[in-house]
C-alpha cells in the first residue's frame, strides 16, 4: 500500500507552484508581468514621496533559451523613496513581505508582485537578482540575492556599500529571465502607453531588446492628492481581520477596541452599536471566543447606522489630470471626463473616473476602444469579462447619438482600497452591483457630455458651411447680374456678407 | 393661300425676351446695390397650384406664389444658378446662338457654377421660364429630340447667315427637321389647307411616299412620340398664323391618345407657359372605336395601360369633349390596342386611300 506523505510548503513554494494565478502563465505573459510588477513598485515608491516618477526600463537580449524563448536581462530604475538596507533582502526575497498592507489606495497590495518576477527569473535562468537602493542617505546599498524557495527566505550572495556622492535616491532592480519578447511586445507597449495615460506626471522610458527607445514624457508635475491611511470600516471586516486586530490591540475593553480600530466609529456610535449587539462595554476583546468573534462580524455588518467610509484613503487622478493624460497619449479631437462621488461596496470605498475621447488620432474600429484602469494600473487582459466592458456593451448608446462606428475611446478608472479583482493577476474587475451601478451612471454622464459636444460641433459645422455657401454664391449673383444688367461696376456686397456672419455668430453662441 | 403674318413677329419676340432677361438682371443688381438680399417672386409650380382652365383650354398656374431669396441658405445657390442661367440665355440669344438643356448643364462649369445633375439644371431653366413667362426655346435653349415637317410651306430664315433666305419645306423628301432655325423662321406662303401630325416616323415617310401632302393638300408633321415643346409651339403657329386646322394621328392606345392631348391642351409641366398648345387641333385616330369598326389586329391592354386609362379618365383635360370619355370607356371595354401600322392588313395604301379621308371628314 502506498504511503501518503504530508509536507508543508512555504508561501514562496506555493506561488512557485501556482505562478499562473499571479500572471506568469507563459513566456510572453511572464515578460509582461515582470515589467509591470517592477514598474508599479517604482511608481508607488516615487508617489509615496510626492515626487513625479522617473522610471527607466531596459530589456536586453542575453541569449537563446529554447526554440521559442530567449533569455533577457531586465533592469528597472526609479527615483522613488528607496528601501532601507535592512529591508532590501526581504522586500525582494520573501514572498508576502511588503509595506503596503495598510488601508490606503496603492498599486501594490499583496506583497508578492516584485518577488514573483524575481522568482520566475530565478527558476528559468538560475541567476541571482541585483538590487541597488538608496534612501538619499550617504550610502548606496547593493545586494546580490536569490530566494530560498522552500524556506521563503532571501539568500544574500553579496552585499556592497557605496558612497552616495551625488545624493542619488531610488532603486534599481536587475535580473535575468526567460521569455518571449516579440510576442509580448504589443501588450507591453500598450502597457506603457496606458500607464502614461493615467500617470501624466510621470516620465517613462523603455529600451527594448532591439535597442529601440520609447519615451513617454510627463506633461505636468501636478500629482493627485496622496491617499491617507485609514482603518477598516465595520462593514468590510471579516473574521480573519478581527482576529488579527484582537491580537495586536492594546485596548482592554470593547468600547476602546471599537473606537481605536474602526473607521467611522466614535464614542457615541460605539455605545449604540454595543447596545444593538448586546455586548458589554467592558468586555476584554482578547477574551472573545471564536463564536463571539463570528457573531461580532455579523453584527457589524447588520448595524445600519455606521456612516459610510470617507474617501480620503483614495487617490483618484482627478478630472484635470485624466484629461491631460488622455490628450497626451490619445491625441483626440475632443475629450470629456467625469469623476463620480465616492461610493462603497462591502465597506470598501471606491471612486470611478471616466474619460471619453473622440476623433483626432483615435482610430475607427467598429467598436469602442476601452481602456480599463484600477488604482492607476492598466488592465490589459481578459477584457470581455470585465465589469466596465460589460456595462459599456449593455448600454444604449444610440440614445446619446453615439455609435460604435465612431472613433471613440472610453476610459474607466476604478480606485479603491480594495479593488474587486477577480484574480491575483489583477486583470479584470468583478461585477459587484454597487460598482456596476457607479460605472453605468458615470458612463451616462460622459455620454451626455459627448452628445452635447457632438451637437454643438454639428452646429458649428453647419454654420461654417452656411457661411461658405453665402460667400461663394453672393459674389456670383453680383457678378452675373452686373453683366446681365449691362452695368460696369459690380454692386458692393460686403455689407451683406458681414450681415450673414454676424447672424451666424449669434446663432453659434446660443 | 394664307397670308404670312407680320414680318417682324419673330424679331419682336426676340427683343422682348432680351429685354425681360436684362430686366431681371437689373432687378437683382438694384437690390444688391441697395444693400438688400435680392429676391424674386414667381408663381408656384407645385401640383396644388396647377389648375385646368377651360377658358384657355390648358393648364395654368394658380395664385400661389413662391419667393426665392438670396437671404435664405437653401435658396442662395439656386438663386446664383438662376442668375447665371439668365445671363447665359442672354448671351445665347443676343449672339443668335442656340444650345440644349444638356449644354446648359455643362456650360455652367465654364462660369464656375455647378449643377448637381441634369435634373437640377433643367429645373433652374424651368424657373427662368416661370419668372419671365417665356419658354426656353425663346431664350435659345432647345430640346434634344427633333421632330420634322414636310409640305408646301415657304419659310424665311432669321438665323445669322441665313437671314432673308427662303426655303420650301418640300425640298427634302425626308422632311425638314423642326430645329431652332426653323422655329425662328417667318412663314412666307403656303398652299396647304391643313396640318396632319403623326406620331411615328414610319407613317410619316409612308405619307410622303404616298403624296398625302398633295392628295390632302396638307403639311405633314412628325411628332416623334410626345411632341417636343418647340414642335408644339410650331404647330400652334401653323394653326394661328396660317389658320390651318390640325389633325393628329397616333397609335390606338392610351399613350397615343395622350400625345394628341398634349398638343391640344398642353401639359401640367408647362402650366407656367402659354402658346404651346393648339386647342382647336383634333385627335383623328386611331380611336378605340376605330379598332372595333375597322377590325384591326390588336394587342391586349396590359396592366400599365389600364392604370393609365384610369388616370386619364379623371384628368380634367379629358372632360372637355365627350369624345375622350367615350374612347376611354371603349378602350376599357375592349381591353385592346392597335398601332397605326395595323392598317397594313388591308394593304399598304389602305390607310391613305380609305382610313385617312374618312377620319379627316369625321373630325372636321
Ligand atoms: N522600487 C521600489 N522602491 C521602494 N520600495 C520598493 C520598491 N519595490 C518594492 N518595494 C518594497 O517592497 C515591497 C514588496 O514589493 P512587492 O512588489 O513584492 O509587493 P507589493 O508591491 O507590496 O504588493 P503587490 O504584490 O501587489 O505588488 C513593497 O511593499 C515595497 O515596500
Ligand atoms: Mg508590487
Ranges of H-type helices in A277-404: 290-302, 319-330, 387-394
Mark yes or no for CB contact A484/B24 under 8 Å: yes
Residue B19 backbone dihedrals phi, psi, to 5 degrees: -65, -40
Number of other residues whose CB lies within 10 A of the CB of residue A63: 10
B18 touches chain A (CB under 8 A): no
B124-158 per-residue burial string, b: 16 or more CB within 10 A, e: under 16: bbbbbbbbbebbbbbbbbbbebebbbbbbbbbbbb
Q: CA B364 to CA B351: how far, in whole Å? A: 18
Tell me A310's DSSP state.
Answer: P
Residue A390 backbone dihedrals phi, psi, to 5 degrees: -65, -45
Average pLDDT over residues B190-208: 94
Q: Pairing mode, if any, of strands B141-142 and B166-168? A: unpaired
The mean-pLDDT minimum among A108-117, A351-360, A479-488 falls in A108-117
Q: Over the stretch A231-279, which tens digit does the pLDDT of each residue have?
A: 888 988 888 889 888 988 899 999 999 999 999 999 999 999 999 999 9
- With cut-offs at 50, 70 and 90, classify the pLDDT of residue A466: confident
- Asked whether the beta carbons of A440 and A395 are under 8 A apart, the reply is yes
Measured from CB, residues less than 6 Å from any atom of ligand 1 are: A 37, 41-42, 45, 78, 80-83, 91, 98-100, 108-115, 171
Pocket test for ligand 1, best of A42, A77, A82, A111 (most atoms within 8 A of CB): A111
Q: Which of B18, B24, B29 to mutate to test the interface with A (most CBs of A within 10 A)?
A: B29
B37 touches chain A (CB under 8 A): yes
- With cut-offs at 50, 70 and 90, classify the pLDDT of residue B5: very low
What three-state secondary structure class fits A103?
Answer: strand
Q: What are the residue numbers of the active site of B?
A: 106
* Residue A469: Cβ-neighbour burial (10 angstroms; 0-12, 13-18, 19+): middle
Side-chain half-sphere CA neighbours of A215 within 13 A:
5
| Cell (9 digits) for A420 | 474587486
Instruction: Please state the pTM of the whole predicted model.
Output: 0.65
Q: How far is A488 from chain B (nearest CA, A)?
A: 11
Look at ligand 1, atom 28, and give the residue with the nearest C-alpha.
Answer: A98
Average pLDDT over residues A29-40: 94
Which residue from B144, B64, B134, B141 is spatially nearest to B275, judged by alpha carbons?
Answer: B134
What is the total residue count of chain A? 510
Chain centre to alpha carbon of residue A77: 20
Report CA(A117)–ligand 1 centroid distance (Å). 11
Q: Pairing mode, if any, of strands A169-179 and A129-135? A: antiparallel
- With cut-offs at 50, 70 and 90, classify the pLDDT of residue A510: very low
The H or E element that residue A498 is part of is helix A494-509
Which residue from B97, B114, B93 is spatially nearest to B105, judged by alpha carbons?
Answer: B114
Q: What is the dotted CATH code of the domain comprising A11-216?
A: 3.30.565.10
Instruction: Nearest by CB to A481, from B29, B35, B76: name it.
Output: B29
Torsion of CA A459, A465, A466, A469, to 10 degrees: -170
Mark yes or no for CB contact A484/B83 under 8 Å: yes
Tell me A282's DSSP state.
Answer: T
Q: How far is B20 from chain A (nearest CA, A)?
A: 10
- Say which residues have a Cβ less than 8 Å from residue B286's Cβ, sequence separation at least 6: B249, B250, B251, B252, B256, B296, B338, B339, B340, B342
Mark yes or no for CB contact B29/A484 under 8 Å: yes
Q: CA B64 to CA B104: how far, in whole Å? A: 29
Chain centre to alpha carbon of residue A207: 23
| Partner residues linked to B282 by β-bridges | B247
Residue A169 backbone dihedrals phi, psi, to 5 degrees: -135, 135
What three-state secondary structure class fits A494?
Answer: helix
End-to-end CA distance of chain B: 19
Give residue ranges of A with CB < 8 Å to any B CB.
466, 469-470, 473-474, 476-478, 480-487, 491-493, 495-496
Rg (CA), chain A: 29
| Partner residues linked to A176 by β-bridges | A73
- Which chain A residues are Cβ-neighbours of B139 within 8 angstroms? none
- Asked whether the beta carbons of A34 and A177 are under 8 A apart, the reply is yes
B137/A330: higher pLDDT: A330
Q: What is the 3-state secondary structure (H, E, C) of chain B?
A: CCCCCCCCHHHHHHHHHHHHHHHHHHHHHHHHHCCCCCEEEEECCCHHHEEEECCCCEEEECCCEEEEECCCHHHHHHHHHHHHHHHHHHHHHHCCCCEEHHHHHHHHHHHCCCCCCHHHHHHHHHHHHHHHCCCCCCCCEECCCCCEEECCEEEECCCCCCCCCEEECCCCCCCEECCHHHHCCEEEEECCCEEEEECCHHHHHHHHHCCHHHHCCEEEEECCCCCCHHHHHHHHHHHHHHCCCEEEECCECHHHHHHHHHHHHCCHHHCCCCCCCCCCCEEEECCHHHHHHCCCCCEECCHHHHHHHHHHHHCHHHHCCHHHHHHHHHHHHHCEEECHHHHHHHCCCHHHHHHHHHHHHHCC
Q: Over the stretch A57-105, which tens digit does the pLDDT of each residue have?
A: 999 999 998 888 899 999 999 999 999 999 999 999 887 776 666 677 7
Q: CA A369 to CA A380: how far, in whole Å? A: 12
Pocket test for ligand 1, best of A15, A24, A35, A41 (most atoms within 8 A of CB): A41
A344/B18: higher pLDDT: B18
Q: Pairing mode, if any, of strands B246-249 and B194-198? A: parallel
Specify the pLDDT at position B263: 95
Asked if pLDDT for residue A296 goes beyond 80, the answer is yes
Q: Pairing mode, if any, of strands B153-156 and B166-168? A: antiparallel
**Mean pLDDT score of chain A, rounded to an integer?**
89
Q: Over the stretch B297-346, which tens digit does the pLDDT of each residue have?
A: 999 999 999 999 999 999 888 987 899 999 999 999 999 999 988 888 88
Task: For chain B, list the domains and their CATH numbers.
Answer: 2-142 (1.10.10.10), 148-363 (3.40.1360.10)
Mark yes or no for CB contact A481/B38 under 8 Å: yes
- With cut-offs at 50, 70 and 90, classify the pLDDT of residue A9: low
Q: What angle do CA A148, A154, A155 make, to 5 degrees?
A: 75
Q: Over the stretch B19-74, which tens digit does the pLDDT of each residue have?
A: 999 999 999 999 999 999 999 999 998 888 988 888 888 889 999 999 999 999 89
Asked if pLDDT for residue A4 goes beyond 70, the answer is no
CATH 3.30.230.10 fits A311-453, yes or no: yes
Q: CA A77 to CA A38: how far, in whole Å? A: 9
Nearest ligand 1 atom, CA A95: 18
B186/A68: higher pLDDT: B186
Q: Which of B32, B109, B139 to mutate to test the interface with A (most CBs of A within 10 A)?
A: B32
Specify the pLDDT at position B2: 41
Nearest ligand 1 atom, CA A108: 26
Q: What angle do CA B280, B282, B286 make, to 5 degrees?
A: 165
Specify the pLDDT at position B349: 87
- Say which residues have a Cβ less than 8 Å from residue B303's Cβ, sequence separation at least 6: none
- Asked whether the beta carbons of A122 and A129 are under 8 A apart, the reply is yes
- With cut-offs at 50, 70 and 90, classify the pLDDT of residue A346: confident
Report CA(B120)–ligand 2 centroid distance (Å). 70
Report CA(B237)–ligand 1 centroid distance (Å). 104
What three-state secondary structure class fits A112?
Answer: coil
- Which chain B residues are Cβ-neighbours of A488 within 8 angstroms? none
Look at ligand 1, atom 20, and give the residue with the nearest C-alpha.
Answer: A111
Report CA(A83)–ligand 2 centroid distance (Å). 13
**Looking at the CA of A424, which ligand is closest?**
1
Report CA(A45)–ligand 2 centroid distance (Å). 10
Q: How far is B87 from chain A (nearest CA, A)?
A: 5
Average pLDDT over residues B352-358: 93
- Say which residues have a Cβ less than 8 Å from residue A494's Cβ, sequence separation at least 6: none
Instruction: Nearest by CB to A484, from B76, B90, B111: name it.
Output: B90
Specify the pLDDT at position A508: 39
Q: CA B257 to CA B328: how far, in whole Å? A: 9
* Residue B294: Cβ-neighbour burial (10 angstroms; 0-12, 13-18, 19+): buried
Residue A370 backbone dihedrals phi, psi, to 5 degrees: -110, 130
Interface of B with A in 76-135 (CB under 8 A): 76-77, 79-80, 83-84, 86-87, 90, 111-113
Where residue B266 falls (left for φ over 0; alpha for ψ -120 to 50; beta otherwise) is left
Look at ligand 1, atom 21, and give the residue with the nearest C-alpha.
Answer: A108
Specify the pLDDT at position B126: 93
The mean-pLDDT minimum among A18-32, A227-241, A437-451, B274-288 falls in A18-32
Q: Which of B39, B82, B83, B116 to mutate to test the interface with A (most CBs of A within 10 A)?
A: B83
What three-state secondary structure class fits A62?
Answer: strand
Ranges of H-type helices in A95-203: 113-125, 181-198
What three-state secondary structure class fits A18?
Answer: coil
Highest mean pLDDT among A233-237, A356-360, B104-108, B181-185: A356-360
**Mean pLDDT score of chain B, rounded to an integer?**
91
Mark yes or no for CB contact A495/B73 under 8 Å: no
Specify the pLDDT at position A505: 45
CATH number of A234-302, picked from 1.10.8.50, 3.40.50.300, 3.30.1490.190, 1.10.3720.10? 1.10.8.50
- Which chain B residues are Cβ-neighbours of A486 within 8 angstroms? 22, 25
Tracing cell 376611354 back to the chain, one arrives at: B328
- Asked whether the beta carbons of A146 and A152 are under 8 A apart, the reply is no
Q: CA A272 to CA A303: how far, in whole Å? A: 10
Q: CA B181 to CA B98: how far, in whole Å? A: 9
Asked if pLDDT for residue B292 goes beyond 60, the answer is yes
The mean-pLDDT minimum among A378-382, A473-477, B126-130, B352-356 falls in A378-382
B28 touches chain A (CB under 8 A): yes
Specify the pLDDT at position A445: 96
Rg (CA), chain B: 22
Amino acid at each position: 500500500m502506498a504511503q501518503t506523505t504530508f509536507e508543508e510548503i512555504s508561501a514562496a513554494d506555493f506561488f512557485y507552484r501556482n505562478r499562473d494565478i499571479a500572471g506568469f502563465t507563459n513566456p510572453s505573459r511572464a515578460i509582461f508581468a515582470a515589467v509591470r510588477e517592477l514598474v508599479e513598485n517604482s511608481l508607488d515608491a516615487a508617489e509615496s514621496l510626492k515626487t513625479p516618477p522617473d522610471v527607466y526600463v531596459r530589456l536586453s537580449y542575453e541569449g537563446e533559451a529554447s526554440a521559442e524563448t530567449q533569455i533577457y536581462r531586465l533592469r528597472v530604475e526609479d527615483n522613488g523613496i528607496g528601501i532601507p538596507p535592512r529591508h532590501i533582502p526581504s522586500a525582494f526575497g520573501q514572498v508576502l513581505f511588503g509595506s503596503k498592507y495598510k488601508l490606503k489606495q496603492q498599486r501594490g497590495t499583496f506583497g508578492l508582485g516584485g518577488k514573483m518576477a524575481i522568482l520566475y527569473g530565478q527558476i528559468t535562468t538560475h541567476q541571482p537578482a541585483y538590487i541597488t537602493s538608496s534612501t538619499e542617505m550617504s550610502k548606496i546599498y547593493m545586494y546580490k540575492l536569490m530566494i530560498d524557495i522552500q524556506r521563503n527566505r532571501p539568500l544574500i550572495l553579496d552585499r556592497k556599500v557605496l558612497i552616495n556622492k551625488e545624493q542619488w535616491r531610488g532603486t534599481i532592480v536587475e535580473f535575468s529571465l526567460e521569455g518571449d519578447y516579440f510576442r509580448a511586445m504589443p501588450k507591453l507597449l500598450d502597457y506603457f502607453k496606458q500607464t502614461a495615460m493615467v500617470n501624466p506626471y510621470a516620465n517613462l522610458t523603455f529600451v527594448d531588446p532591439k535597442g529601440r527607445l520609447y519615451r513617454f514624457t510627463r506633461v505636468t508635475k501636478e500629482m493627485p492628492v496622496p491617499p491617507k491611511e485609514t482603518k477598516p470600516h465595520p462593514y468590510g471586516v471579516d473574521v480573519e481581520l478581527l482576529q488579527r486586530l484582537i491580537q495586536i490591540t492594546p485596548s482592554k475593553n470593547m468600547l476602546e477596541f471599537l473606537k481605536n480600530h474602526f473607521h467611522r466609529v466614535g464614542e457615541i456610535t460605539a455605545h449604540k452599536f454595543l447596545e444593538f449587539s448586546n455586548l458589554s462595554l467592558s468586555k476584554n476583546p482578547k477574551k472573545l471566543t471564536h463564536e463571539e468573534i463570528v457573531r461580532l462580524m455579523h453584527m457589524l455588518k447588520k448595524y445600519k447606522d455606521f456612516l459610510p467610509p470617507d474617501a480620503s484613503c483614495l487617490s483618484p487622478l482627478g478630472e484635470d489630470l485624466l484629461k491631460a493624460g488622455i490628450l497626451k497619449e490619445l491625441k483626440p479631437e475632443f475629450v470629456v471626463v467625469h469623476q463620480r462621488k465616492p461610493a462603497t461596496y462591502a465597506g470598501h470605498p471606491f471612486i470611478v473616473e471616466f474619460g471619453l475621447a473622440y476623433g483626432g488620432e483615435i482610430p475607427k474600429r467598429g467598436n469602442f476602444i476601452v481602456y480599463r484602469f484600477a488604482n492607476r494600473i492598466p488592465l490589459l487582459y481578459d477584457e470581455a469579462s470585465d465589469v466596465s466592458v460589460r456595462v459599456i456593451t449593455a448600454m444604449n448608446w444610440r440614445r446619446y447619438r453615439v455609435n460604435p462606428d465612431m472613433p471613440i475611446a472610453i476610459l474607466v478608472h476604478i480606485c479603491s482600497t480594495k479593488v474587486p479583482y477577480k484574480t491575483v493577476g489583477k486583470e479584470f474587475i468583478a461585477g459587484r452591483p454597487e460598482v456596476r451601478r457607479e460605472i453605468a451612471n458615470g458612463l451616462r454622464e460622459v455620454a451626455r457630455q459627448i452628445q452635447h459636444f457632438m451637437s454643438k460641433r454639428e452646429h458649428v459645422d453647419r454654420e461654417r458651411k452656411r457661411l461658405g455657401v453665402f460667400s461663394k454664391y453672393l459674389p456670383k449673383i453680383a457678378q452675373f447680374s452686373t453683366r446681365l444688367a449691362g452695368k460696369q461696376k459690380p454692386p458692393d456686397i460686403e455689407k451683406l456678407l458681414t450681415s450673414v456672419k454676424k447672424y451666424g455668430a449669434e446663432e453659434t453662441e446660443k | 393661300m394664307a397670308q404670312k403674318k407680320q414680318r417682324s413677329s419673330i424679331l419682336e419676340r426676340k427683343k422682348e425676351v432680351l429685354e425681360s432677361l436684362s430686366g431681371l438682371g437689373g432687378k437683382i443688381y438694384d437690390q444688391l446695390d441697395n444693400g438688400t438680399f435680392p429676391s424674386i417672386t414667381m408663381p408656384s409650380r407645385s401640383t396644388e397650384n396647377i389648375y385646368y382652365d377651360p377658358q384657355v383650354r390648358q393648364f395654368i398656374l394658380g395664385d400661389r406664389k413662391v419667393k426665392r431669396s438670396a437671404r435664405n441658405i437653401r435658396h442662395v445657390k439656386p438663386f446664383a444658378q438662376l442668375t447665371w442661367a439668365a445671363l447665359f440665355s442672354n448671351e445665347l440669344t443676343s449672339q443668335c446662338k442656340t444650345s440644349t438643356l444638356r449644354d446648359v448643364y455643362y456650360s455652367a462649369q465654364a462660369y464656375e457654377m455647378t449643377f448637381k445633375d441634369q435634373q437640377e439644371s433643367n429645373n433652374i431653366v424651368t424657373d427662368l421660364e416661370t419668372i419671365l413667362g417665356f419658354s426656353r426655346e425663346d431664350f435659345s435653349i432647345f430640346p434634344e429630340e427633333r421632330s420634322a415637317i414636310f409640305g408646301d410651306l415657304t419659310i424665311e430664315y432669321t438665323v445669322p447667315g441665313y437671314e432673308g433666305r427662303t426655303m420650301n419645306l418640300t425640298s427634302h423628301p425626308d422632311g425638314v427637321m423642326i430645329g431652332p432655325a426653323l422655329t425662328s423662321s417667318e412663314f412666307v406662303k403656303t398652299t396647304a389647307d391643313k396640318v396632319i401630325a403623326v406620331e411615328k416616323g414610319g407613317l410619316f415617310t409612308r405619307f410622303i411616299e404616298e403624296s398625302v401632302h398633295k392628295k390632302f393638300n396638307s403639311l405633314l408633321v412628325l411628332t416623334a412620340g410626345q411632341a417636343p415643346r418647340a414642335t408644339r409651339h410650331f404647330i400652334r403657329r401653323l394653326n394661328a398664323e396660317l389658320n390651318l386646322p390640325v389633325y393628329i394621328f397616333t397609335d390606338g392606345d392610351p399613350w397615343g391618345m395622350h400625345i394628341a392631348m398634349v398638343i391640344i391642351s398642353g401639359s401640367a409641366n408647362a402650366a407656367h407657359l402659354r402658346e404651346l398648345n393648339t386647342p382647336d387641333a383634333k385627335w383623328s385616330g386611331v380611336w378605340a372605336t376605330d379598332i372595333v369598326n375597322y377590325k384591326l389586329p390588336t394587342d391586349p391592354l396590359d396592366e400599365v395601360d389600364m392604370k393609365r386609362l384610369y388616370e386619364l379618365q379623371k384628368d380634367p383635360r379629358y372632360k372637355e369633349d365627350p369624345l375622350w370619355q367615350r374612347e376611354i370607356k371603349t378602350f376599357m371595354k375592349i381591353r385592346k390596342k392597335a398601332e397605326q401600322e395595323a392598317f397594313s392588313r388591308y394593304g399598304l395604301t389602305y390607310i391613305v386611300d380609305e382610313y385617312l379621308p374618312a377620319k379627316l371628314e369625321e373630325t372636321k
